[in-house]
Amino acid sequence: MHPLEYTTSQDIFFDFCLWDYRPSVPYENKFRSVNLLYNSFDCTGVHERFFDLVQAIRQGLGESNTVWGIKQIEGDIRWEFYFYDYGRMERKRSITRLLDIIKPFIRCGIEANENFYYFMFSIDISGELIAKNSDLQEIHMYIGNPGSNVSSGICYSLTAEGTRLENFYFFFDAKKEMDDITDKVICSSYLDFSKKGRCCLK
């Protein structure tokens, strides 16, 4: 069991987009969110090197500067770590810097072009990747998508073979923009609303 960490009066809080906020309730001497991450390591029995990797990232990029999530793909548990820097071309948390930080734990032959105007990137890490000190095969890079009133981003997959478009993201206000959300869903090449059995969006 990894030692528990507690918040202090000096802690700064960020949400999942790494935007700072002030908690609405007293927060001193509460559990830090990293405890949940460490508990997931304990529950899945990953190699101790995983804890060391997280510590290296925290020391290299600063505490509370990494967003993380846990996902299950075909029975395999993976952890996705997201790194934001809205400074873009003046960024301090770059792909190149992160790869240098994790080099003792994970190798990666991908060469990032730091001239790209990205504001965020992420990597998927599995217990097996850490235990075997294997090569990281893919990095997800996010670039802005200006041109409308809705915040949007474009995700690209970076591999040793090149760059591939992965996904578009749109951040609508669900309470105020439901009609726009519906229109966006309908305008999809994967949905044919003339076929029986389709849900009716309202």
pLDDT at 27 over 60: yes
pTM: 0.84
Do 90 and 160 fall within a single domain? yes
Number of separate domains in the chain: 2
In a domain? residue 97: yes
pLDDT at 163 over 60: yes
Query: What pLDDT, on a 0 to 100 scale, did the predictor assign at position 3?
Result: 86
Token digits of residue 86:
């809205």
- Average the pLDDT over 76-101 and give the result: 93
Query: What pLDDT, on a 0 to 100 scale, did the predictor assign at position 196?
Result: 57
Do 189 and 90 fall within a single domain? no
Q: Which residue has the higher pLDDT, 196 or 8?
A: 8
> Do the bridges between strand 76-84 and strand 67-73 make them parallel or antiparallel, or are there none, so unpaired?
antiparallel
Q: Using one digit for the tens of pLDDT, what is the confidence trace for 95-137?
A: 999 999 999 999 999 988 999 999 999 999 998 888 887 899 9
Do 58 and 82 fall within a single domain? yes
Among residues 72, 58, 68, the alpha carbon closest in space to that of 102 is found at 58
Q: Using one digit for the tens of pLDDT, what is the confidence trace for 61-75?
A: 998 899 999 999 888
Q: In degrees rounded to 5, what are phi and psi of residue 167? A: -160, 160
Counting residues of the chain whose pLDDT is more than 90, the rounded percentage is 58
Do 98 and 193 fall within a single domain? no
Q: In degrees rounded to 5, what are phi and psi of residue 181? A: -65, -45
